[in-house]
A and B are shown apart, each in its own frame.
Chain A
Amino acid sequence: AQSVAQPEDQVNVAEGNPLTVKCTYSVSGNPYLFWYVQYPNRGLQFLLKYITGDNLVKGSYGFEAEFNKSQTSFHLKKPSALVSDSALYFCAVRGNTGGFKTIFGAGTRLFVKA
């Protein structure tokens, strides 16, 4: 069965410091991996995805994520955090067998302090 784990409910970081939001997954076959961000009273917005190829993928707003097959992880990173990055972040995985359904993690709240 597919599953996604985001082990941290909240991540706190100072503005200008690097940030990491963790995600591990379980899926049959090769995964499609995604990160989404949710701002208050807004729908989820796509940040970046990994399908195949280079393990380091770059996305919107300066975010990037590293796919690690051996550790089944897909951590979200940014070299220098901004206060405006404060939001709720969701990792999602889609298997490439069966119904190809997309499963989301529980979310990690990122708080960037000025």
Chain B
Amino acid sequence: EAGVAQSPRYKIIEKRQSVAFWCNPISGHATLYWYQQILGQGPKLLIQFQNNGVVDDSQLPKDRFSAERLKGVDSTLKIQPAKLEDSAVYLCASSPGMGSPLHFGNGTRLTVT
């Protein structure tokens, strides 16, 4: 089966600019996750979707981050405006069910200068 697809692979922007990341999960996976992984740290959950509904977004900085999952398939994560501390790898993952592991994409490495 095809894996989780993410784009772009790398992105460099200046602070206060905006950026968007795209994720296409594995076909049939109802749950989609966005994680932020800062260098040297574990992945931090930003938002979790079940189909096209939000299950948890308690750690999403809603003043600057937004995410949507239209039609319960693809998802986009947006940052506007970006700050220096947003420099990180943004990981998308999907899962078919509760007892199943997460399948991760290769991530988008964001550098904010």
Interface residues of A (CB under 8 A from B): 4, 6, 32, 34, 36, 42-46, 49, 51, 90, 92, 94, 96, 99-107
Which single residue of chain A is at the shortest CB-CB distance from B31?
Answer: A100
Which one, A46, A94, A99, A104, contacts B43 given CB within 8 A?
A104
User: Are the CB atoms of A44 and B55 closer together than 8 Å?
Assistant: no
User: Are the CB atoms of A102 and B102 closer together than 8 Å?
Assistant: yes
A34 to B102 alpha-carbon distance, docked (Å): 9
Which single residue of chain B is at the shortest CB-CB distance from A35?
Answer: B101
A104 to B103 alpha-carbon distance, docked (Å): 14
Complex contacts, A104 vs chain B, CB 8 Å: 35, 42-45
Which one, A32, A45, A90, A94, contacts B42 given CB within 8 A?
A90
Q: How far is the CB of A58 from chain B (nearest CB, A)?
A: 14
Mark the stretch among B12-20, B61-69, B73-81, B104-112 that contacts chain A. B104-112
A99-B56, A101-B48 known; A43+B101 contact, CB < 8 A: no
The 7 closest A-B pairs by CB, nearest first: A46-B101, A99-B56, A43-B104, A104-B42, A44-B104, A99-B55, A106-B42
A101 to B4 alpha-carbon distance, docked (Å): 19
Complex contacts, B35 vs chain A, CB 8 Å: 104
Complex contacts, B99 vs chain A, CB 8 Å: 32, 49, 51
